[in-house]
Structure 1
Amino acid sequence: VETPGGEWYLAHLTARPLTPRGACVLGRETALQRVEWTTDGWPRLAGEPPVPGGDTLPRTVVPAPAPAPAPAPVSAPVSGVSGPSAPGPETPSAAYPDG
Protein backbone atom coordinates (compact mmCIF):
# COMPACT_ATOMS: atom_id res chain seq x y z
CA VAL A 1 0.00 0.00 0.00
CA GLU A 2 1.40 3.43 -0.90
CA THR A 3 0.37 6.46 1.15
CA PRO A 4 -0.25 9.92 -0.35
CA GLY A 5 3.11 10.92 1.20
CA GLY A 6 4.95 8.24 -0.79
CA GLU A 7 5.53 5.79 2.09
CA TRP A 8 4.97 2.09 1.47
CA TYR A 9 3.36 -0.37 3.91
CA LEU A 10 2.94 -4.14 3.85
CA ALA A 11 -0.35 -5.62 5.08
CA HIS A 12 0.09 -9.12 6.49
CA LEU A 13 -1.62 -11.59 8.79
CA THR A 14 -0.15 -12.26 12.20
CA ALA A 15 -1.02 -14.01 15.44
CA ARG A 16 0.09 -13.16 18.97
CA PRO A 17 0.72 -16.03 21.39
CA LEU A 18 -0.81 -14.63 24.58
CA THR A 19 -0.99 -17.64 26.88
CA PRO A 20 1.87 -19.45 28.65
CA ARG A 21 1.39 -22.38 26.25
CA GLY A 22 1.65 -20.07 23.23
CA ALA A 23 -2.00 -20.15 22.17
CA CYS A 24 -3.12 -17.34 19.87
CA VAL A 25 -6.55 -16.80 21.44
CA LEU A 26 -7.34 -13.74 19.30
CA GLY A 27 -6.91 -15.69 16.07
CA ARG A 28 -5.44 -14.11 12.97
CA GLU A 29 -4.95 -10.36 13.06
CA THR A 30 -4.01 -7.91 10.33
CA ALA A 31 -0.80 -5.93 10.73
CA LEU A 32 0.78 -3.04 8.80
CA GLN A 33 4.52 -2.60 8.57
CA ARG A 34 6.54 0.08 6.79
CA VAL A 35 8.57 -0.95 3.75
CA GLU A 36 11.83 0.55 2.51
CA TRP A 37 13.19 0.03 -0.99
CA THR A 38 16.78 -1.14 -1.55
CA THR A 39 19.06 0.57 -4.05
CA ASP A 40 18.51 -2.31 -6.47
CA GLY A 41 14.70 -1.96 -6.26
CA TRP A 42 13.69 -4.68 -3.79
CA PRO A 43 11.26 -4.06 -0.90
CA ARG A 44 12.51 -4.68 2.66
CA LEU A 45 10.71 -4.37 5.97
CA ALA A 46 11.85 -1.17 7.67
CA GLY A 47 13.45 -0.83 11.08
CA GLU A 48 14.66 -4.35 11.79
CA PRO A 49 18.17 -5.72 11.42
CA PRO A 50 18.51 -8.56 8.93
CA VAL A 51 18.61 -12.10 10.27
CA PRO A 52 21.28 -14.55 9.10
CA GLY A 53 20.65 -15.10 5.42
CA GLY A 54 19.84 -11.43 4.77
CA ASP A 55 16.08 -11.45 5.35
CA THR A 56 14.24 -9.11 7.70
CA LEU A 57 11.65 -10.51 10.10
CA PRO A 58 8.32 -8.84 10.84
CA ARG A 59 8.44 -6.75 14.01
CA THR A 60 6.71 -7.94 17.14
CA VAL A 61 6.20 -4.40 18.50
CA VAL A 62 5.49 -1.43 16.24
CA PRO A 63 5.12 2.14 17.55
CA ALA A 64 1.72 3.65 16.85
CA PRO A 65 1.52 6.73 14.63
CA ALA A 66 0.38 10.04 16.08
CA PRO A 67 -3.42 10.23 16.30
CA ALA A 68 -5.29 12.38 13.80
CA PRO A 69 -6.52 15.72 15.14
CA ALA A 70 -10.08 15.68 16.45
CA PRO A 71 -12.67 17.37 14.25
CA ALA A 72 -14.00 20.73 15.38
CA PRO A 73 -17.24 20.45 17.37
CA VAL A 74 -20.45 21.63 15.75
CA SER A 75 -21.46 24.83 17.52
CA ALA A 76 -24.55 25.84 15.55
CA PRO A 77 -27.89 24.08 16.03
CA VAL A 78 -29.08 21.86 13.22
CA SER A 79 -31.59 23.75 11.09
CA GLY A 80 -34.23 22.56 8.67
CA VAL A 81 -35.32 19.61 10.79
CA SER A 82 -38.97 19.52 11.73
CA GLY A 83 -41.45 16.98 12.93
CA PRO A 84 -43.36 15.94 16.02
CA SER A 85 -41.49 15.55 19.26
CA ALA A 86 -41.53 12.20 20.97
CA PRO A 87 -44.51 11.72 23.27
CA GLY A 88 -43.81 11.32 26.96
CA PRO A 89 -45.08 8.48 29.15
CA GLU A 90 -48.00 10.63 30.29
CA THR A 91 -49.40 10.81 26.73
CA PRO A 92 -49.36 7.26 25.28
CA SER A 93 -52.31 8.03 23.00
CA ALA A 94 -50.30 10.70 21.17
CA ALA A 95 -48.11 7.97 19.67
CA TYR A 96 -51.12 5.91 18.56
CA PRO A 97 -53.99 8.29 17.77
CA ASP A 98 -56.23 5.49 16.42
CA GLY A 99 -56.14 3.66 19.70
Structure 2
Amino acid sequence: MGMMSGQISATSNEAIYGESNKSTMLLTISFIAEILVSVSLFISNSIMKVFENLNVMFFVSAIYFGIVLLTIPLIKENKDVRQNMAKNVSKS
Protein backbone atom coordinates (compact mmCIF):
# COMPACT_ATOMS: atom_id res chain seq x y z
CA MET A 1 0.00 0.00 0.00
CA GLY A 2 2.80 2.42 0.87
CA MET A 3 4.57 1.72 -2.39
CA MET A 4 1.43 2.44 -4.35
CA SER A 5 0.84 5.76 -2.57
CA GLY A 6 4.49 6.66 -3.14
CA GLN A 7 4.11 5.97 -6.85
CA ILE A 8 0.96 8.11 -6.99
CA SER A 9 2.79 10.93 -5.22
CA ALA A 10 5.80 10.62 -7.54
CA THR A 11 3.58 10.64 -10.61
CA SER A 12 1.67 13.71 -9.42
CA ASN A 13 4.94 15.55 -8.67
CA GLU A 14 6.16 14.73 -12.15
CA ALA A 15 2.91 15.87 -13.75
CA ILE A 16 2.59 19.09 -11.75
CA TYR A 17 6.20 20.22 -11.35
CA GLY A 18 7.96 18.29 -14.11
CA GLU A 19 10.56 16.96 -11.67
CA SER A 20 11.08 13.33 -12.54
CA ASN A 21 14.49 12.94 -10.83
CA LYS A 22 13.19 14.19 -7.50
CA SER A 23 10.08 12.04 -7.80
CA THR A 24 12.14 8.95 -8.56
CA MET A 25 14.44 9.65 -5.63
CA LEU A 26 11.52 10.10 -3.23
CA LEU A 27 9.89 6.93 -4.52
CA THR A 28 13.13 4.99 -4.01
CA ILE A 29 13.58 6.32 -0.47
CA SER A 30 9.97 5.48 0.35
CA PHE A 31 10.39 1.96 -1.02
CA ILE A 32 13.61 1.36 0.95
CA ALA A 33 12.00 2.69 4.14
CA GLU A 34 9.03 0.38 3.62
CA ILE A 35 11.37 -2.60 3.22
CA LEU A 36 13.30 -1.65 6.38
CA VAL A 37 10.10 -1.34 8.39
CA SER A 38 8.91 -4.73 7.14
CA VAL A 39 12.24 -6.34 8.05
CA SER A 40 12.14 -4.72 11.49
CA LEU A 41 8.63 -6.01 12.12
CA PHE A 42 9.68 -9.49 10.98
CA ILE A 43 12.66 -9.42 13.37
CA SER A 44 10.47 -8.25 16.26
CA ASN A 45 7.90 -10.95 15.53
CA SER A 46 10.62 -13.61 15.39
CA ILE A 47 12.04 -12.45 18.71
CA MET A 48 8.60 -12.64 20.29
CA LYS A 49 8.13 -16.19 19.01
CA VAL A 50 11.54 -17.35 20.26
CA PHE A 51 11.68 -15.69 23.68
CA GLU A 52 7.95 -15.19 24.36
CA ASN A 53 8.83 -12.09 26.35
CA LEU A 54 7.92 -8.54 25.40
CA ASN A 55 10.78 -7.03 27.42
CA VAL A 56 13.37 -9.00 25.45
CA MET A 57 11.82 -7.85 22.18
CA PHE A 58 11.99 -4.18 23.21
CA PHE A 59 15.59 -4.56 24.39
CA VAL A 60 16.77 -6.26 21.18
CA SER A 61 14.82 -3.78 19.03
CA ALA A 62 16.42 -0.87 20.89
CA ILE A 63 19.88 -2.30 20.27
CA TYR A 64 19.06 -2.97 16.62
CA PHE A 65 17.76 0.55 15.98
CA GLY A 66 20.59 2.06 18.03
CA ILE A 67 23.14 0.33 15.83
CA VAL A 68 21.36 1.40 12.66
CA LEU A 69 20.91 5.00 13.80
CA LEU A 70 24.52 5.29 14.99
CA THR A 71 26.08 3.57 11.98
CA ILE A 72 24.64 5.89 9.34
CA PRO A 73 26.08 9.12 10.88
CA LEU A 74 29.44 7.41 11.45
CA ILE A 75 29.64 6.37 7.80
CA LYS A 76 28.75 9.91 6.71
CA GLU A 77 31.32 11.42 9.08
CA ASN A 78 34.00 9.03 7.81
CA LYS A 79 33.19 10.02 4.22
CA ASP A 80 33.39 13.74 5.10
CA VAL A 81 36.77 13.24 6.80
CA ARG A 82 38.13 11.46 3.71
CA GLN A 83 36.89 14.25 1.43
CA ASN A 84 38.51 16.91 3.62
CA MET A 85 41.79 14.98 3.66
CA ALA A 86 41.70 14.69 -0.13
CA LYS A 87 41.12 18.45 -0.46
CA ASN A 88 44.03 19.21 1.89
CA VAL A 89 46.36 16.88 -0.02
CA SER A 90 45.42 18.41 -3.37
CA LYS A 91 46.12 21.93 -2.03
CA SER A 92 49.66 20.97 -0.99
Q: Specify if TM > 0.5.
A: no
The answer to which structure, 1 or 2, has the higher relative contact order (CA under 8 A, 6+ apart) is 2
Structure with the higher fraction of residues in helix conformation: 2
Q: Computing the radius of gyration over CA atoms, which structure comes out larger, 1 or 2?
A: 1
Q: TM-score range by the shorter chain?
A: under 0.3
